[in-house]
């Protein structure tokens, strides 16, 4: 009889895994006094519900049992959800209680996810580290997007004991969104991270090879008679700011060593329904936002900076319309229908002063955002809605010269609007959506007629998943139209992203009388994402007239691209690896006439060893690189194809001292372009409350075909190039100290130096010649004259004595230092006091100096600007 009993016992243990894909937890309405949120779990209220348990390991091995048990309980009343965790640990002295700022995930932690709409796509995540650090994220797109900017109002406390640790949390229903049904049924997932084993476990089992996250949740039952609450929140702030600078010209009437201001504003949230809320801001301030990293780009393309301003970051997922989200990557992946950094940027018109001519200018640094509001929500029927509207102030620069003081407009009053709608269908496996944007400028002065009077864009998108989300089809189509004066539209046609004036582009024509420009784009991709072998393949295109940069981000138009990605994944431990993946990518591109522009291939591997160190290595092979932008309006230009390889290796991330060394290098097959870079990331946590990060990075490039300028000599157009030797050096420093989980001190600083030195000047002879020597005509030393005093080169490359071309000395040595010192105290839940010291230094050095000498001698020799800011917010939640 022993064997049948043993078999029955094993089957009983295995039954939850095989007989039921979605485990169920039954909660109850609280009777009597609510539990005190102190982390102790000694309140009688917790006896009213049973423990949820039977967790499954998800990483590193989803086929192995968990090493430590976890249990949870959920209660509710009319206003709150109450959650308790018991994280058992047989070695409680090894629990890692590291600190961090909100939304960090330091050390050991537990988490609960609610799919309160039960739509299998969106969710609300609340995490608690054993040290008391809160984390909260809004989950969308079935777990593909986790928005850490979502900061709901909730309470949590933890306690450690000889059995492990416990957590209690109180979450207001007003911070969640759900339907009006009398009996609610939600998706539920509960997770735990065991830091020392890097073990992730979940209540609802999820295999690492399965796509999706929210769609794999278990079920929460038992919530009855709870009416959705319309959120109402107000968060006023007051701000005092003092700005000082060492630079002071006594002749400049606008100069001042010290500037100060006192201002205020209001952020708020109002519920139209429980499903749909309005977030708004009046006179927003972003002074506590970390500075952008230093960057310099010589290829003409825009530099993409991530959004860091709280209002635009929060609940941004619904406005994220990425035109090509290819798994293979590619420059086109950065193209967006809506790029919020366009709102409140630098004024469009820049005026320069000239102290030697007694001309001084007081130019605003940024455009003032008068206010912004956004409506977002999702109904029980699966309809997601997002509306955003913002207005920026008319800006003026002041000018003082021999005519006295005058004012001139440098930015018009502008309104920005974005609308987004998505509908789930097919058991929430698939979505169809529409997005529309508009920009309207009140152009009152002739000096601003170069701007578009209005800009509109829109898109329709479809994501269809089938076979339990294993297969996915993505398709979208976008369009744009910009309107303005003939000058504005001509400028757009001839801008870097369009280049209608290319002399070899018979399919394009600059229309100097046009007052509008329209274009289209889109993507079609299909892939399978379940199992050990996965792939995605697709096409993406941008027509010549597509223009998104008034409110979106568009790197390039007139392109047709094919991409393909395939991977073999080992997600569970095998051999010496915890996980391992090999990827292969293919990229092909054409212009609108069908001319082949590029062919390239990439293969890469990444993984984690059994000792939890990690690695990544890659190889790029380029077979053809023909650019439509390299000559800035000239004909197609062949650049040397080549190869590059690189990678990195990192130490065990569990250790107090961690490092990641990375490097890359490559060159063209003909040896005319070469470069390399190396960097090292250090992270050190000497104390649970103190974390330090330091990253030096150095790169070097030498290329003989660097574009300088286009010059004209009568009927002759010369595309002038040179050989550039470029160095870039940066150091990123970050230190965080937690006095308590809600009181942090953080420092961020980055010195950045970029140097470029040119020689071997030449002009393009045959832009598509396959041999480098046939592509250029190099000027002799006798043909070049350098006027060092005025910083100018002149070239005479023919028999006469007249100068044929002139251009400014292109050598540079750019230096920048940016830093933020932030004291953040959350003195009440979600009510915060900020003390900020920002410092900025920008200048130059002798290009004959290398970057290390410039760092030592010149970085802090330039004038520094200091800003001191004290900001207090109070969050009132109904």
Element (H, E) at 7: helix 2-18
pLDDT of 322 higher than 80: yes
CATH number at residue 126: 2.60.40.1190
Q: What are phi and psi of 10, to 5 degrees?
A: -65, -40
What pLDDT was estimated at residue 18? 36
Residue the block writes with tokens 């396959």: 770
Q: Which of 136, 146, 203, 200 lies closest to 169 in space, CA to CA?
A: 136
| Residue 634 pLDDT class (50, 70, 90 cuts) | very high
Instruction: Compute the distance between CA of residue 234 and CA of residue 713 in angstroms, rounded to an integer.
Output: 64
Residue the block writes with tokens 């089992």: 205
Average pLDDT score over residue span 48-71: 96
What pLDDT was estimated at residue 668? 97
What pLDDT was estimated at residue 249? 65
How much of the chain, in percent, has pLDDT values that exceed 90?
A: 68
Instruction: Compute the distance between CA of residue 223 and CA of residue 24 in angstroms, rounded to an integer.
Output: 13
What pLDDT was estimated at residue 8? 32
For residues 605 and 617, the answer to whether their CB atoms sit within 8 Å is yes
Q: Residue 25, SS3?
A: strand
Q: Is 385 part of a structural domain of the chain?
A: no
Instruction: Compute the distance between CA of residue 505 and CA of residue 527 in angstroms, rounded to an integer.
Output: 35
Q: Is 178 part of a structural domain of the chain?
A: yes
Instruction: Compute the distance between CA of residue 64 and CA of residue 56 in angstroms, rounded to an integer.
Output: 8
What pLDDT was estimated at residue 345? 87
Q: Which residues of 629-656 are buried (b: 16+ CB within 10 A; e: fewer)?
A: bbbbbbbbbbbbbbbbebbbebbeeeee
Residue 470 exposure: Cα atoms within 13 Å on the Cβ side: 9
pLDDT, one tens digit per residue, over 834-847 is: 898 988 888 889 99
Higher per-residue pLDDT: 428 or 779: 779
- Copy the structure tokens of residue 573: 């431990």
| Residue 540 pLDDT class (50, 70, 90 cuts) | very high
What pLDDT was estimated at residue 877? 80
The reply to whether omega before 60 is within 30° of 0 (cis) is yes
- Considering 116-120, 416-420, 781-785, 789-793, the range whose residues carry the highest mean pLDDT is 416-420
Q: Is 120 part of a structural domain of the chain?
A: yes
pLDDT of 379 higher than 90: no
Angular region, 198: left φ>0, alpha ψ -120 to 50, beta rest: left
Give the chain's domain count.
1
pLDDT of 246 higher than 60: no
pLDDT of 451 higher than 90: yes
What pLDDT was estimated at residue 98? 93
Element (H, E) at 12: helix 2-18
| Residue 262 pLDDT class (50, 70, 90 cuts) | confident
- pTM tops 0.75, yes or no: yes
Write the CA distances from 778 to 761, 762, 783, 796, integer angstroms: 6, 4, 10, 12
Instruction: Compute the distance between CA of residue 522 and CA of residue 480 in angstroms, rounded to an integer.
Output: 12
Structural domain of 109: 22-224
Q: Which of 269, 288, 265 lies closest to 280 in space, CA to CA?
A: 269
| Residue 294 pLDDT class (50, 70, 90 cuts) | low
pLDDT of 830 higher than 60: yes
Higher per-residue pLDDT: 797 or 198: 198
Q: Is 427 part of a structural domain of the chain?
A: no
3-state SS string for 473-512: EEEEEEEEEEECCHHHHHHHHCCCCCCCCCCCCCCCCCCC
Instruction: Compute the distance between CA of residue 180 and CA of residue 178 in angstroms, rounded to an integer.
Output: 7
pLDDT of 873 higher than 50: yes
Q: Would you say how long the chain is, in residues?
A: 878
Write the CA distances from 20 to 16, 27, 216, 466, 470, integer angstroms: 5, 19, 12, 21, 20
pLDDT of 16 higher than 50: no
Average pLDDT score over residue span 136-156: 88
Instruction: Compute the distance between CA of residue 868 and CA of residue 240 in angstroms, rounded to an integer.
Output: 8
pLDDT of 15 higher than 60: no
Q: Is 62 part of a structural domain of the chain?
A: yes
| Residue 291 pLDDT class (50, 70, 90 cuts) | low
pLDDT of 7 higher than 60: no
Q: Is 59 part of a structural domain of the chain?
A: yes
Contacts of 775 (CB under 8 A, 6+ apart): 638, 705, 764, 765, 766, 767, 768, 769
Report the DSSP pairing between strands 276-282 and 471-483: unpaired
Mean pLDDT score of the chain, rounded to an integer? 90
Q: Is 111 part of a structural domain of the chain?
A: yes
Q: Which of 69, 281, 280 lies closest to 194 in space, CA to CA?
A: 69
pLDDT of 12 higher than 50: no
Q: Is residue 502 packed enough to be buried (19+ CB in 10 Å), middle (13-18) or exposed (0-12)?
A: buried
Higher per-residue pLDDT: 376 or 483: 483
Q: What are phi and psi of 790, to 5 degrees?
A: -100, 0
pLDDT, one tens digit per residue, over 73-128 is: 999 999 999 999 999 999 999 999 999 888 888 899 999 999 998 888 889 999 99
What pLDDT was estimated at residue 106? 85
Higher per-residue pLDDT: 634 or 228: 634
pLDDT of 737 higher than 70: yes
What pLDDT was estimated at residue 509? 95
pLDDT of 10 higher than 60: no
What pLDDT was estimated at residue 876? 84
pLDDT, one tens digit per residue, over 573-613 is: 999 999 999 999 999 999 999 999 999 999 999 999 999 99
- Copy the structure tokens of residue 482: 């910009």
Instruction: Compute the distance between CA of residue 40 and CA of residue 86 in angstroms, rounded to an integer.
Output: 10
Higher per-residue pLDDT: 288 or 61: 61
Q: What are phi and psi of 17, to 5 degrees?
A: -80, -40
Instruction: Compute the distance between CA of residue 44 and CA of residue 52 in angstroms, rounded to an integer.
Output: 17
Average pLDDT score over residue span 194-207: 96
pLDDT of 289 higher than 70: no
Average pLDDT score over residue span 671-687: 96
For residues 447 and 399, the answer to whether their CB atoms sit within 8 Å is no
pLDDT of 495 higher than 90: yes
pLDDT of 11 higher than 70: no
Q: Is 51 part of a structural domain of the chain?
A: yes
């Amino acid at each position: 009889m022993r064997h049948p009993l043993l078999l029955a016992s094993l089957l009983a243990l295995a039954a939850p895994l095989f007989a039921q894909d979605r485990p169920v937890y039954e909660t109850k309405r609280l009777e009597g006094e609510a539990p005190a949120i102190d982390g102790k779990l000694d309140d009688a209220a917790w006896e009213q519900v049973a423990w949820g348990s039977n967790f499954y390991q998800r990483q590193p091995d989803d086929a192995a049992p968990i090493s430590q048990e976890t249990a949870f309980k959920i209660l509710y009343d009319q206003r709150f959800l109450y959650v308790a965790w018991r994280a058992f640990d047989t070695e409680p002295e090894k629990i890692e209680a590291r600190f961090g700022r909100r939304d960090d995930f330091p050390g050991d932690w537990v988490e609960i996810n609610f799919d309160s709409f039960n739509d299998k796509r969106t969710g609300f995540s609340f995490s608690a580290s054993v040290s008391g650090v809160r984390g909260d994220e809004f989950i969308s797109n079935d777990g593909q997007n986790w928005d850490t900017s979502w900061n709901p109002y909730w309470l949590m406390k933890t306690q450690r004991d000889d059995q492990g640790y416990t957590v209690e949390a109180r979450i207001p229903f007003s911070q969640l969104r759900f339907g009006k049904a009398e009996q609610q049924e939600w998706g539920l997932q509960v997770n735990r991270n065991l830091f020392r084993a890097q073990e992730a476990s979940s209540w609802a089992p999820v295999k690492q090879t399965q796509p999706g996250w929210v769609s794999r949740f278990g079920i929460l039952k038992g919530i009855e008679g709870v009416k959705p609450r319309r959120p109402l929140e107000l968060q006023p702030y007051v701000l005092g700011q003092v700005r000082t600078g060492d630079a002071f010209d006594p002749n400049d009437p606008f100069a001042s060593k010290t500037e100060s201001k006192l201002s205020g504003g209001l952020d708020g949230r109002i519920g139209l329904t429980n499903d749909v809320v309005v977030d708004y801001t009046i006179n927003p301030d972003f002074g506590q936002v970390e500075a952008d990293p230093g960057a310099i780009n010589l290829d003409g393309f825009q530099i993409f900076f991530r959004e860091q301003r709280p209002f635009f970051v929060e609940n941004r997922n619904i406005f994220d319309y990425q035109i090509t989200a290819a798994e293979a990557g590619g420059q086109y992946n950065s193209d967006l229908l809506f790029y919020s950094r366009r709102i409140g940027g630098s004024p469009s018109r820049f005026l320069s002063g000239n102290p030697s001519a007694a001309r001084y200018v007081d130019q605003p640094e940024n455009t003032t955002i008068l206010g912004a509001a956004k409506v977002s929500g999702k109904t029980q029927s699966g309809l997601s809605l997002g509306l955003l509207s913002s207005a920026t102030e008319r800006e003026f620069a002041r000018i003082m010269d021999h005519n006295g003081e005058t004012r001139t407009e440098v930015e018009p009053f502008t309104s920005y609007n974005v609308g987004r709608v998505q509908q789930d269908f097919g058991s929430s496996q698939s979505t169809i959506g529409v997005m529309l944007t508009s920009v309207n400028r009140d152009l009152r002065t002739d000096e601003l007629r170069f701007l578009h009077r209005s800009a509109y864009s829109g898109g329709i998108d479809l994501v269809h998943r089938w076979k339990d989300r294993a297969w996915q089809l993505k398709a979208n189509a976008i369009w744009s139209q910009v309107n303005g004066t003939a000058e504005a539209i001509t400028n757009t046609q001839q801008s870097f992203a369009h280049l209608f004036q290319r002399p070899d582009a018979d399919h394009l024509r600059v229309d100097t009388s046009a007052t509008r420009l329209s274009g289209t784009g889109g993507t079609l991709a299909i892939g399978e994402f379940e199992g050990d072998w996965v792939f995605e393949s697709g096409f993406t295109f941008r027509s010549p007239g597509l223009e998104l940069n008034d409110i979106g981000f568009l790197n390039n138009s007139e392109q047709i691209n094919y991409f393909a990605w395939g991977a073999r994944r080992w997600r569970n431990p095998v051999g010496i690896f915890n996980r391992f993946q090999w990827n292969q990518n293919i990229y092909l591109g054409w212009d609108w006439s069908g001319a082949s522009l590029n062919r390239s291939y990439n293969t890469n591997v990444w993984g984690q060893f059994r000792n939890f160190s990690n690695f990544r290595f890659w190889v790029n092979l380029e077979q053809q690189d023909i650019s439509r932008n390299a000559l800035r309006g000239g004909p197609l230009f062949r650049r040397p194809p080549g190869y590059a390889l690189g990678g990195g290796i990192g130490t065990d991330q569990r250790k107090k001292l961690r490092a990641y060394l990375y490097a890359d290098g490559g060159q063209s097959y003909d040896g005319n372009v070469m470069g390399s870079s190396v960097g090292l990331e250090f992270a050190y946590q000497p104390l649970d409350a103190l974390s330090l990060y330091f990253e030096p990075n150095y790169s070097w490039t030498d290329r003989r075909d660097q574009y300088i300028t286009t010059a004209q000599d009568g009927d002759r157009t010369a595309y002038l190039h040179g050989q550039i030797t470029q160095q870039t050096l940066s150091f990123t420093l970050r230190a965080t100290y937690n006095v308590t989980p809600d009181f942090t001190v953080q420092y961020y600083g980055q010195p950045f130096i970029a140097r470029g030195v040119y020689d071997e000047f030449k002009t393009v002879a045959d832009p598509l010649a396959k041999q480098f020597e046939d592509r250029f005509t190099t000027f002799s030393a006798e043909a070049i004259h350098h006027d060092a005093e005025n910083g100018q080169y002149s070239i005479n490359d023919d028999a006469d004595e007249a100068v044929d071309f002139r251009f400014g000395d292109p050598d540079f040595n750019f230096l920048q230092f940016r830093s933020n010192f932030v004291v953040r105290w959350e003195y009440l839940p979600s009510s915060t006091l900020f003390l900020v010291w920002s410092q900025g230094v920008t200048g130059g050095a002798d290009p004959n100096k290398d970057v290390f000498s410039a760092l030592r001698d010149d970085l802090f020799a330039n004038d520094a600007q200091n800003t001191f800011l004290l900001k207090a917010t109070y969050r009132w939640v109904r």
